[in-house]
Chains A and B, each alone.
Chain A
C-alpha cells in the first residue's frame, strides 16, 4: 500500500506541470504566495466563527449571521488553498510525502474537516434553538478544536518550509 502511494507521488512529480513548477524560478514562489494568501483568508474567517462559537467575539450577532457572512469566504479560499497546495505538493511529491511535518499537517486538516462535519451535521442542525441564548458546550468545543487545528495547520505549514528548503 505504501509503495503504491510512493509510486503515485513519483509519477505525479514527473508530470510536465509538476516539473515546470519545480524547475521554474518564479512559478513555485508565486503559487506558494497564492497558497499563503488563500490560507490567510481561510484561517482569518474561520476564526471569526470559532470565536463567536466560543462566545469571545461578535456576541451581539447570532451564530447564523456570522456563519452566513463568513463561510462563503472560508470555502472559496479553502478551494484556492487546496488547489495551490496540490500544485505545490506535486512539484516534489516524494519529498513532501516523506516529510513528517507535511504528514502531520494533512492529519490535522483531515481531523479539522471531520470536526467541522460533525458540528454541521449535529449541533448546528438545532442552531435555531440556542442561537440567541447560551451556546451549548458541543458548539464551544467545536469552535475551540477548530481554532487549535487551524493554528496547528499554519504552524506545521511554516515548519514544512523550514525542513524542506535551505534557510
Chain B
C-alpha cells in the first residue's frame, strides 16, 4: 500500500512543482530545522525545570505558560514544512522505518506534553507537589524529543 501511495503522491502537481523548483526543498528544510530549534530549547528548559534541575525561582506553571505557546506554533510550522517535504519526496520518508519511528515518537511526545499542560491547568502546583512523577514525565519527554531529532537525521541515512 505504501509504495502505491508514494507513487501517487509524487505524481501530483504539487509534488512535481516542489521537486522542480530547486530552492524549495532546501528552504523548507532549513525552516524545519529552525523550528526544531525552538521546540528543542523550549522543551529542554521546561523538562529540566520539571526535574527540578534549573530555575527553581520560577514555578513550573509560569515557565510552561511562557514556553508552551511558542512550542505549539513551532510544531505547526514543523507539520507544514514536514508535510511539504513528504509530499515532495514520499518514497524517502513513508516506507522508511526511521521516519515511521519518528512519527510514532512525535505522537507520544505531543500527548505527553498535552498531559503536562492539562495537569498544570487543573492545579498550578501539580508538578511541584509530585517531584517523582515530574522527573519521570520530564525524562520521558526529553528522551522522546531527542529521539525524534535522531530518527529524523537517521532517516536521511537509511
Q: Are A154 and B26 in contact (CB-based, < 8 A)? A: no
- The A interface is mostly helix, strand or loop, or mixed, namely helix
Q: Are A40 and B29 in contact (CB-based, < 8 A)? A: no
How many residue pairs link A and B with beta carbons under 8 A? The number is: 65
Chain A 87-123 against B: per-residue CB contact (8 Å), 1 yes, 0 no?
0000000000000000000000000000000000000
Q: Are B38 and A44 in contact (CB-based, < 8 A)? A: yes
Q: Are A33 and B33 in contact (CB-based, < 8 A)? A: no
Q: Tell me the complex Cα distance, A162–B27, Å.
A: 12
- The stretch among B79-87, B117-125, B133-141, B150-158 that forms the contact with chain A is B150-158
A127 adjacent to chain B (CB < 8 Å)? no
B107 adjacent to chain A (CB < 8 Å)? no
B17 adjacent to chain A (CB < 8 Å)? no
Assuming the A-B contacts A29-B153, A32-B153, are A158 and B41 also in contact, with contact meaning beta carbons closer than 8 angstroms in the complex?
A: no
* 29 contacts across the A-B interface (CB closer than 8 A): A29-B157, A33-B149, A36-B33, A36-B153, A37-B146, A39-B37, A40-B37, A40-B40, A41-B37, A41-B40, A43-B37, A43-B41, A44-B39, A44-B41, A44-B44, A45-B41, A45-B45, A47-B37, A47-B38, A57-B70, A58-B66, A73-B41, A151-B30, A151-B34, A154-B30, A154-B34, A155-B30, A158-B33, A159-B26
Binding site for A on B (CB under 8 A): 26-27, 29-30, 33-34, 36-42, 44-45, 55, 66, 70, 146, 149-150, 153-154, 157
